[in-house]
Amino acid sequence: MARYVDGFLLPVPKKNLDAYRRMSRRAGRIWKKHGALEYRECAGDDLKVKSGMRSFSKGASVKSGETVLFSWIVYRSRKHRDQVNAKVMKDVRLLGMMKNTEMPFDVKRMLYGGFRVIVDL
C-alpha cells in the first residue's frame, strides 16, 4: 500500500527536550485524531558517523548544547496528507499551542519536506 511521509529534521536545545516532548505528544494526538497513520519524534542518540558520510548534526547545523530531532508523520497518500493537515491547522488545540506556548526550538532552523514512499517492506 502506498504511503506518504512528512519528514522533519530540527536542532533542539537539550535543556528543552522535555518541553519539546510534551508539545510533541499533544501535537501527535491532534494529527492522529485527524487521520495521520503514524507520528514519530526521535531524539539523536548515535550521531557520530564514520568519515565519508555527513551526520544529521552537521546537516541540521547543531550548535553546542543542542541535539537533533528526526521526525515523521505517515499518511495514506499526499492527498490524504493535505486533508489531514487542513483539519490539523484549523484545530483550536493546535492554534492555542502555537499562540500561547513559546516554542522549545527555533522554527526557522527546521528542515521539512513531503516524501513519496518508494520502498515499503
Q: Which three cell numbers stand for residue 49?
A: 558517523
pLDDT greater than 70 at residue 24: yes
Domain made up of 4-75+92-116: CATH architecture: 2-Layer Sandwich (3.30)
Cell 492555542 found at: 96
Q: Please tell me the distance from the alpha carbon of residue 36 to that of residue 21, in angstroms, as a whole number.
A: 18
State pTM to two decimals: 0.91
Q: How does residue 100 score in pLDDT terms, banded at 50, 70 and 90?
A: low
- Alpha-carbon distances of 69 from 5, 43, 72, 84, rounded to whole Å: 16, 5, 10, 22
Q: Please tell me the distance from the alpha carbon of residue 31 to that of residue 74, in angstroms, as a whole number.
A: 10
Q: What is the pLDDT of residue 23?
A: 92
